[in-house]
A and B are shown apart, each in its own frame.
Chain A
């Protein structure tokens, strides 16, 4: 079973990306996909929104999926695996989560056919410099943990700026694809789907 972690800073567009991508992912691959969403507060916003758009969603509310809710995440993955038997689980943590810590949590889940875990980190092009300046270390950690980087909101910045941001991201993590994308407009969503479905 594939597990895709869609991480990224607050407001980077993770939920919009998931909403943009899942439909075409299911259409293209005929896979069954279940989403796990971790949100702030006892009533989540992102999970409720995804449900309204017809996605199959399990919510982990009021905590951090990469640490305090680690056990809950494992149990939720187990329940989904046993009861729903999907081909893929998409995990959308809060924007403050460390994707590497989530991978470590998921590594504790044992099954005969091991999980194939990948992390897509969503970076907000519209606030790239502001966030890098304010939260350089944790943002760098997120990018370093990525198996693919989605440079989202490409519609909000000039192409030359995008190239500059891509170069900066390459200096942090040189070995992974960086895909400029606009989840809102659907630009390059297919490239993301291809990256997700390729092994």
Chain B
């Protein structure tokens, strides 16, 4: 279902907290991150959220997977973060229709800096896409709806 208006953005967000943060606060911020990205993308002109999902991993303090398919619904999650997280690696995918990829990137970067604005925390974002999945994506010989 790659259509001309499909966009995909995969990004890794490394979070260095310097000081430990309560796990409930971290979970709340991560859920908010996905919810706000969904709302901002729809407000910016996206026509359909495909899937916004992330996996937040720690070295030894558990993991949290969060998923949003509707900007009006609460995120679903599985897993848990234990107390004492100092570093966090979040792999985030934003897959949607109706918004150019560069706009999605802009929204994700802005929202991440705002929602994960935890005192003392350092954020680093790395683009994980080797092949950008957008309207120009080449799907070989078979036909998707373009």
A152 to chain B, nearest CB (A): 11
Interface centre among B51, B54, B57 (most CB of A within 10 A): B51
A127: Cβ under 8 A from any B Cβ = yes
* Cβ-defined contact, A45 with B140, below 8 A: no
* Stretch of A59-67, A75-83, A112-120, A162-170 at the chain-chain interface: A59-67
Q: Which of B31-51 contact A (CB under 8 A)?
A: 47-51
Q: Which residue of A lies closest to B5 (CB)?
A: A134
Q: Per DSSP, are chain A's interface residues mostly helix, strand or loop, or mixed?
A: loop
A residues neighboring B (CB under 8 Å): 9-11, 16, 39-45, 48-49, 52, 62-64, 66-68, 70, 95-96, 98, 101, 124, 126-127, 130-131, 134-135, 137-139, 142, 184
B18: Cβ under 8 A from any A Cβ = no
Contacts of A137 on B, CB cut-off 8 Å? 145
Count of chain B residues near A, Cβ 8 A: 42
Besides A40-B129, A48-B57, A135-B3, 15 other A-B contacts (C-beta < 8 A): A10-B1, A10-B50, A10-B51, A10-B69, A11-B69, A39-B93, A40-B8, A45-B53, A49-B65, A68-B131, A70-B140, A96-B6, A124-B69, A135-B48, A138-B3
* 24 residue pairs from A and B, CB less than 8 Å apart: A10-B50, A11-B69, A39-B93, A40-B133, A41-B93, A42-B128, A44-B91, A45-B91, A45-B93, A49-B78, A52-B79, A62-B128, A62-B129, A68-B138, A96-B6, A96-B50, A96-B95, A98-B142, A101-B142, A127-B69, A130-B48, A134-B47, A134-B97, A138-B1
Contacts A41-B129, A42-B128, A95-B51 given; indicate if A64 touches B91 (C-beta within 8 A): no
Q: When each residue 89-107 of chain B gets 1 if its CB lies under 8 Å from chain A and 0 otherwise, what string results?
A: 0010101010000000000
* Cβ-defined contact, B1 with A96, below 8 A: yes
